[in-house]
Amino acid sequence: MQPSVISLILGGGQGTRLYPLTKSRSKPAVPIAGKYRLVDIPISNCLNSGLKRIFVLTQYNSASLNRHIKNTYHFDHFNSGFVDILAAEQTPENPTWYQGTADAVRQCLHHLEGFEFNYVLILSGDQLYQMDYQLMINDHIEKQADITIATTPVNFQDASSFGIMKTDADHNITAFVEKPKGDAILEWASDTGEEMKAAGRIYLASMGIYLFNKEVLFKILREDLVSTDFGKEIIPQAIGKYKVVSYQFEGYWTDIGTVPSFFEANLELTNEIPKFNLFDNERNIYTRPRMLPPTKISGTTLEKTVIADGCIIMASRLEHTLVGIRTRIGRGTTLVNCYVMGNDYYQTLDEINASYSKGIPPLGIGERCYIKNAIIDKNCRVGNDVRINGGPHLADTDHPLYTVKEGIVVVKKGSILPDGFSI
């Protein structure tokens, strides 16, 4: 008999580091890989692990995320599974919105009390990885842990970006430090195994994935009404009071909370053998089923390019580029190192002609454009002869139509770039 688990996926805060992609949507609702949303990753991991009771905790810009979950995840009447939204709510007992990850879970505890379960799995909605949570759950039970934290080995250079755990010979976590700097990192090495040690990955970084015994979670959150964050407060305070264990995960995992990391993770999918495997028969990534036609391509040279459903592409060349659903790209256009998110709908020929008559480009990317190092958000209208040349030579800036972050140009959702526009 499988252990009884409730999964909680944290919908994220304001997502300022991912702006402007989070200007009108929450982090988990940001489109990834041309046809999915970020929230599809932890939900798919849960379903592939046999965990079918899932709550998604939402607060900021949650309308599109709520709509996506409602339209995507349905279970039949003979199945006890569900994917439900727990939206932030003000109550007489708690008049505030979620103040952090732990506070969000604390405010939702009363919604969980009507269910039978022994463990609570807490997940983030803005990470890219494929993981069998049952292995972590089994390890938690075998070690008789109160709390298990999923950790990934990182090298010296990356350690300063994470919360780093120190473990003993039995994988018990004995200490925690948030983003250590400089030579202080050297004191935080752990035994990560011979293979990881040979690769220089000797520091255990928290993945922000936590498994709690039900009683322990309820006790901690209801006794401590001040602490609001798991990583910075709840977990460090639990070490020494409870049996806190590290579950070491050595597969591909990346936190995509910033524009550069998001951009890199998407373009990595175009590699011959990407680190994140979308072509796995046993670990499907689920999303909203769309009845779209196959993509049509004419006269285009393709190099390391992934194209989603329903596109019409007549471009000259696409290189190291990810193209999302319903994208239209005109003749003579070249895209290099780009993520085009696509469109939510098609325009009819009459609508396209009406756009032209008003001097407005139709949805998609026009003719004879050159676009490099860019993210084109959804429902953008890029005219003819537009030139976008992203790179380190561009200073960070926020324009009404686009944002530049670390050389990456992000054309904002729904923007209209007229003919001849240049960045």
Q: What is the pLDDT of residue 13?
A: 63
- pTM value is 0.92
At 15, the pLDDT band (50, 70, 90 cuts) reads low
Rounded to 5 degrees, what angle do the CA atoms 311, 316, 317 make? 80
At 226, the pLDDT band (50, 70, 90 cuts) reads confident
How many other CB atoms are found less than 10 A from the CB of residue 72? 17
List Cβ neighbours of 177 (8 Å cut-off, separation of 6 or more). 163, 164, 166, 184, 188
- pLDDT tens across 120-151, in order? 999 998 899 999 999 999 999 999 999 999 99
Q: What is the pLDDT of residue 368?
A: 98
Does 3 score more than 80 pLDDT? no
Name the most confidently modeled range: 69-78, 250-259, 262-271. 262-271
| Phi and psi, residue 155, nearest 5° | -90, 180
Average pLDDT over residues 357-364: 94
At 295, the pLDDT band (50, 70, 90 cuts) reads very high
Average pLDDT over residues 66-89: 82
239 three-state secondary structure: strand
At 244, which helix (H) or strand (E)?
Answer: strand 244-248
Q: What is the pLDDT of residue 64?
A: 83
33 three-state secondary structure: coil
The letter for the amino acid at 340 is V
Does 90 score more than 60 pLDDT? no
CA–CA gap between residue 302 and residue 192 (Å, rounded): 41
Higher pLDDT: 282 or 15? It is 282
Nearest alpha carbon to residue 214 among 121, 98, 114:
121
Nearest alpha carbon to residue 410 among 306, 39, 394:
394
CA–CA gap between residue 107 and residue 341 (Å, rounded): 35
At 95, the pLDDT band (50, 70, 90 cuts) reads low
Evaluated on CA atoms 144, 147, 153, 159, the torsion sign reads negative
Q: What is the mean pLDDT of the chain?
A: 91
Q: What is the pLDDT of residue 4?
A: 93
Cβ atoms 108, 8 nearer than 8 A: yes
Does 77 score more than 80 pLDDT? no
Does 207 score more than 90 pLDDT? yes
Cβ atoms 169, 267 nearer than 8 A: no
DSSP 292: P
Cβ atoms 207, 254 nearer than 8 A: no
Torsion angle defined by CA atoms of residues 368, 372, 378 and 380, in that order, rounded to the nearest 10 degrees: -40
Cβ atoms 148, 136 nearer than 8 A: yes
Q: What is each CA distance from 84 to 69, 143, 387, 401, in whole angstroms? A: 8, 31, 43, 35
Residue labelled with tokens 């990885």: 129
Cβ atoms 26, 62 nearer than 8 A: yes
Cβ atoms 326, 343 nearer than 8 A: yes
Does 92 score more than 60 pLDDT? no
At 104, the pLDDT band (50, 70, 90 cuts) reads confident
Q: What is the percentage of the chain residues whose pLDDT exceeds 90?
A: 69
Average pLDDT over residues 375-397: 97
Q: What is the pLDDT of residue 91?
A: 59
Q: What is the pLDDT of residue 63?
A: 82
Average pLDDT over residues 2-31: 85
Cβ atoms 120, 211 nearer than 8 A: yes
Query: Of the ranges 2-16, 62-76, 157-171, which one carries the lowest mean pLDDT score?
Result: 2-16
Does 87 score more than 90 pLDDT? no
Instruction: Spell out the domains of the chain, with CATH numbers in brackets.
Output: 5-268 (3.90.550.10), 296-417 (2.160.10.10)
Tell me the two tokens of residue 266. Answer: 């998407």
Longest alpha-carbon distance in the chain: 72
